[in-house]
Structure 1
Amino acid sequence: MSSSRNKLENKGFFASMSSSLSMFSNAMHRSVNGLLGYENLEVVNPEGGKDDAEEEAHKGRWKQEERDSYWKMMHKYIGSDVTSMVTLPVIIFEPMTMLQKMAELMEYCHLLDQANECEDPYLRLVYAASWAISVYYAFQRTWKPFNPILGETYEMVNHNGITFLSEQVSHHPPMSAGHCENEHFTYDVTSKLKTKFLGNSLDVYPVGRTRVTLKRSGVVLDLVPPPTKVNNLIFGRTWVDSPGEMILTNLTTGDKVVLYFQPCGWFGAGRYEVDGYVYDANEEPKLLMTGKWNESMSYQPCDAEGEPLPGTELKEVWHLADTAKDDKFQYTYFAHKINSFDTAPKKLLASDSRLRPDRYALEMGDLSKSGTEKSSLEERQRAEKRNREAKGDQFSPRWFDLTEEIATTPWGDMEVYQYNGKYTEHRAAIDSLDIVEVEEFKTKEFNPWQYNDFSAA
């Protein structure tokens, strides 16, 4: 076993052959940084470019003097969770909300369809894990999405037969809940981001619970993603990395996938690389997985020591789709679809993210109007909170219910919200009507508010 581990480390293909999950992370970490001798060194710019700040200033946003001003404001928050305690300028935003960004995970949801149809329990996990990895290309964007307003929603249809719904269910702490479904699977998530501001970088911890149920087998999968680090947040060219473990567990059988996202080494060594294994319930490796989260993922059968089986070869299961070149916001074609009304259902909810005036103004390139609209929405939200407290009311999400369940995550415990099924009934009633509301979308007013009479707030 030890000779196999050393052999693979030297080849740089896998960092560990051990089926011991407790040793997996340390061994994988050594595979790239240990070989190069650059452990514990922070990369300044993985692309190796120069004059980064000047280059970004030429893009028309986030000029150096603005970075300096932002640094003066932010340095006092070093070491803090800045998820909702700091009002941020729209200059660092992208025209999308966090609820919409949640939906980006569904671009390659056909992989979950394949997992549902797959008879092999280990290959089933390969498809599902590849689906979970596929979103990281989109997650490397350096613009910040808008924080959702309490009660805000996002709906998506017309993609692979799915119906996707997300809702902002809590403001302090910021929490979102999502539900997605088609004939093959259901997807349920409660998400609460936790951050740690470190000066010129930001650690993002995905505190949440993600469950996928495959309808054919009834298998329930639980996903724990790795943390994310935003580097050069204020000075230098901003870039994103997600070093650490991703664990996808079959709660029905005990089988699991453990994948390690390699940390970016000196001059970008190891960046994007993902390696790991599908284990059975006894923690014996069955399939190895390897690839890059910005390119493709492949698998290969392996023996009990993790060695590729003779006569087998790597088979690709996921490959990145064509992407837009030189896009202003680094959007994929699917990200543009998410922002468009092409993926909107008939009679869109007035609380939908697409209708936010600050988001739309930014999309149109009007930063001044976007900032004004953002401030107005945030003040309205504060007014609603004061009104709610004065009335002794409690906010209740429309489409999700708070359960008594407490989920344990590597970064803390959290409450769990459960889809209540009311949206399915609502959508069925709307879809039965012979209506087309596409033109109305452009003039429909954004309204996530609990109290319609703003003057009373």
Structure 2
Amino acid sequence: MGSKDQKQGGGFLSSIASSISNFGTAMHKSVNGLIGYEGLEVINPEGGTEDAEEEAQRGRWKQEDRDSYWKMMQTYIGSDVTSMVTLPVLIFEPMTMIQRVAEILEYSHLLDLADECEDPYMRLVYATSWAISVYYAYQRTWKPFNPILGETYEMVNHGGITFLAEQVSHHPPTSAGHAENDHFTYDVTSKLKTKFLGNSVDVYPVGRTRVTLKKDGVVLDLVPPLTKVNNLIFGRTWVDSTGEMIMTNLTTGDKAVLYFQPCGWFGNGRYEVDGYVYNGAEEPKILMTGKWNEVMSYQPCDMEGEPLAGTELKEVWRVAPTPQHDKFQYTHFAHKINSFETAPKKLLASDSRLRPDRYALEKGDLTKAGAEKSSLEERQRAERRDREAQGHQFTPRWFDITDEVTPTPWGDLEVYQYNGKYSQHRAAIDSSDTVDEVDVESIEFNPWQYGNVSAK
């Protein structure tokens, strides 16, 4: 369990957990032989065993691609590979990392319940269950596209929420997001940090996540557990999250501390989450238990952490039904946020949905997707050269960097805050009666909105 003085931090851009994950599923016997894994039996986290060579040969890469990428990746062992590695588009999903920031809002009704709740401990039960709910989606093993600097993502039409995310830094890759409805505001700054270990990669969610409940002004701070992507070089790639999740009520000092069990042999313990909600004196008040891919439940407990007599375990969250045999393992909500159904009127031209590489991949045109991806990356490098030649610095449009540097368990973080300009922009559009209907799919993707680049 975490101590009261543990450094605070958070951030839910753990979508990087899938950023290299399908790289390893395509490796062949000759690659496994390079590191002595030839013929090894691989533990399947769902139970049972599978032969490594047979599993590896199910990959989608050509033999020459497998060998060349493994030879390249060997040089990165022990390194942070967040933005150093270029991978072919065939292992991508048609979504970007800042879109995946929005996936934590699927079960936002739990935050509505937390805001309406009078019991301070049940507030943490609802809020912590909300934080856990996204991990079902985060176990996907496809790589999202890296956002272009200045890229945005907007979402409306979900629980009365307005959501905006912006890529505020390219090196290191950093995103900022803000969501709001009648019950809460959600603010996140997320900077990804990884460590490549050869056959796995550790993903550290360096960031800060804050939720403010509007009814009483309660501020909640989240520290998520780290994530590990397993079987990068051989076997079936799978994602696991282990360690403590801490949700702290910064207003009262109450907190929830939950432990994500690591996956053992033959899948033993995988998905399991257990812990308690504590008061400010660190006395247990409510126990919580469940599985992050299925359900969470709670029950009042005594000072020893044992269930109170006469009470029963009650369900607080259960994962929603998902599409069967979906190509990219999407939830219904993932399809929703990836569609124009959740796009507002007069969508920003910098929106992720408009990326030509993402759109081409969604339509199944891998050749075009790869070409468009390369074109965007080259233009991003050209824009950077232009800025630096003129002595200009990139300035985000919708978020401002603050003087605050917050410590997290995995490193310090420069915090960005929402500047309110998007709310003014959106209010002006929504109040106008003259907004013409536009085919949003015809809008040209344009994240190159530096503003000060062209200044003389």
Fold in common (TM above 0.5): yes
**Offset of residue 76 of structure 1:** 0.8
> Cα deviation per residue 1:405-454 (whole Å; 9 max; x = unaligned)?
01110000010000000000000001112366665211110000036999
Contact 1:165-1:179 within 8 A present in 2 as well: yes
Contact 2:223-2:246 within 8 A present in 1 as well: yes
**How do 1:80-91 and structure 2 match up within 5 A?**
80-91=79-90
| Aligned residue type for 2:421 | K
What is residue 204 of structure 2 aligned with on the other side? 205
SS of structure 2 residue aligned to 1:50 = strand
SS of structure 1 residue aligned to 2:140 = coil
Change (3 A) 1:49 1:356: farther
SS of structure 1 residue aligned to 2:322 = coil
**Offset of residue 62 of structure 1:** 4.0
SS of structure 2 residue aligned to 1:243 = strand
Return the structure number with greater relative CO, CA threshold 8 A, min gap 6: 2
What is residue 443 of structure 1 aligned with on the other side? 442
| Aligned residue type for 2:387 | R
Contact 2:55-2:235 within 8 A present in 1 as well: no
What is residue 412 of structure 1 aligned with on the other side? 411
SS of structure 2 residue aligned to 1:311 = coil
**How do 1:159-174 and structure 2 match up within 5 A?**
159-174=158-173
2 CA distance for matches of 1:86 and 1:133? 29
Q: Report % sequence identity.
A: 80
Contact 2:124-2:277 within 8 A present in 1 as well: yes
> Cα deviation per residue 1:55-94 (whole Å; 9 max; x = unaligned)?
6765x73466643332122111000000112222212211
Contact 2:222-2:245 within 8 A present in 1 as well: yes
2 CA distance for matches of 1:303 and 1:453? 60
- The question of 1:132 aligning with 2:131 is answered yes
Change (3 A) 1:452 1:128: closer
> Cα deviation per residue 1:66-124 (whole Å; 9 max; x = unaligned)?
43332122111000000112222212211110110000000000000000000000001
- The question of 1:45 aligning with 2:24 is answered no
**How do 1:220-259 and structure 2 match up within 5 A?**
220-259=219-258
Change (3 A) 1:80 1:276: same
2 CA distance for matches of 1:21 and 1:50? 43
What is residue 262 of structure 2 aligned with on the other side? 263
1 CA distance for matches of 2:235 and 2:84? 24
Change (3 A) 1:448 1:186: same
Give aligned pairs, total.
Answer: 420
What is residue 108 of structure 1 aligned with on the other side? 107
SS of structure 1 residue aligned to 2:50 = coil
SS of structure 2 residue aligned to 1:81 = coil
SS of structure 1 residue aligned to 2:80 = coil
2 CA distance for matches of 1:129 and 1:327? 28
What is residue 399 of structure 2 aligned with on the other side? 400
Return 82-91 or 164-173, whichever deviates more.
82-91
1 CA distance for matches of 2:345 and 2:232? 40
> Cα deviation per residue 1:346-371 (whole Å; 9 max; x = unaligned)?
00000000000111111111111111
| Aligned residue type for 2:365 | D
Normalised TM-score (structure 1):
0.88
> Cα deviation per residue 1:219-253 (whole Å; 9 max; x = unaligned)?
00000000000001232110000010000000000
Contact 2:402-2:417 within 8 A present in 1 as well: yes
2 CA distance for matches of 1:453 and 1:417? 19
Change (3 A) 1:114 1:277: same
2 CA distance for matches of 1:115 and 1:453? 42
2 CA distance for matches of 1:350 and 1:19? 43
2 CA distance for matches of 1:163 and 1:446? 21
| Aligned residue type for 1:287 | I
Change (3 A) 1:306 1:387: same
2 CA distance for matches of 1:64 and 1:109? 44
Contact 2:200-2:230 within 8 A present in 1 as well: yes
Contact 2:229-2:240 within 8 A present in 1 as well: yes
**How do 1:49-448 and structure 2 match up within 5 A?**
49-51=49-51, 54=54, 61-62=60-61, 66-434=65-433, 439-448=438-447
| Aligned residue type for 1:121 | P
2 CA distance for matches of 1:19 and 1:188? 23
Change (3 A) 1:286 1:99: same
Q: State the Cα RMSD in Å.
A: 2.3
| Aligned residue type for 1:152 | E
Q: Which runs of 5+ in 2 are unaligned?
A: 7-40
2 CA distance for matches of 1:19 and 1:388? 44
2 CA distance for matches of 1:197 and 1:269? 25
Return 228-237 or 66-75, whichever deviates more.
66-75
1 CA distance for matches of 2:270 and 2:334? 23
Change (3 A) 1:20 1:247: closer
